[in-house]
Amino acid sequence: MKKLKNSELNRISIDEYKAAEKTPFIVVLDNIRSQSNIGSVFRTSDCFRLEAVYLCGITAQPPHREIQKTALGSTESVHWKYFNSIIDAILDLKNKGYQVYAIEQAEGSYKLGEFTPDFSKKCAFIFGNEVKGVQQEAVNISDACIEIPQYGTKHSLNISISVGIVLWEMHQKLIN
């Protein structure tokens, strides 16, 4: 087995990425304070060729040096939009026909592995602040909550890890 070189990975250009069909998902970041986490989300969103990333509240916007360190240029390929309020972002998505899911530990939440959205509609997934999670007001108007099962003492994952887990699971369900 030989490790592949970057030149052997068949990467597409930014222009090809922008013209390519997208996975019908949008990631919504609700008051994310770590710019490293924001950059990681952009990079993961590029990997899955998502439609967009919505940035809300205190979430920093590109271009920003700290975001770029982890984004590795993906802020140039992934479409993004900023909203002052998470509620404005959710209403925008719902007006466009998206199903909106808060990724949060909540009463009545669906366990990630047991939940499959209606893929005839596009999906948006809200990820919340590193300390406070998704705002209750956003949970209230989301279509449902999805929870990543956790079995240790912390019951808390880094946001960039949560985004990767959720997108992987939803992408696998979408393509299968």
What are the residue ranges spanned by the domains of the chain? 21-175
**CA separation for the pair 20, 48 (Å, rounded):** 12
CATH class label, 21-175: alpha beta
Q: What is d(CA 31, CA 144) in angstroms, rounded to the nearest whole number? A: 20
Give the pLDDT confidence of 56-91 residue by residue, as tens digits.
Answer: 999 999 999 999 999 999 999 999 999 999 999 999
Residue 155: the pLDDT is 87
Specify whether the CB–CB gap between 130 and 32 falls below 8 A: yes
Using DSSP's 3-state secondary structure scheme, residue 39 falls into: helix
134-150 burial: b if 16+ Cβ within 10 Å, else e: bbeebbeebbebbbbee
In terms of DSSP bridges, do strands 144-147 and 23-30 run parallel, antiparallel, or are they unpaired? Answer: unpaired
Which of 166, 130, 164 lies closest to 149, judged by CA? 166
pTM: 0.97
Which ranges of the chain have pLDDT less than 70?
none
| CA–CA separation, 149 and 144 (whole Å) | 16
Helices 35-47, 159-175: crossing angle, 10 deg rounding: 10
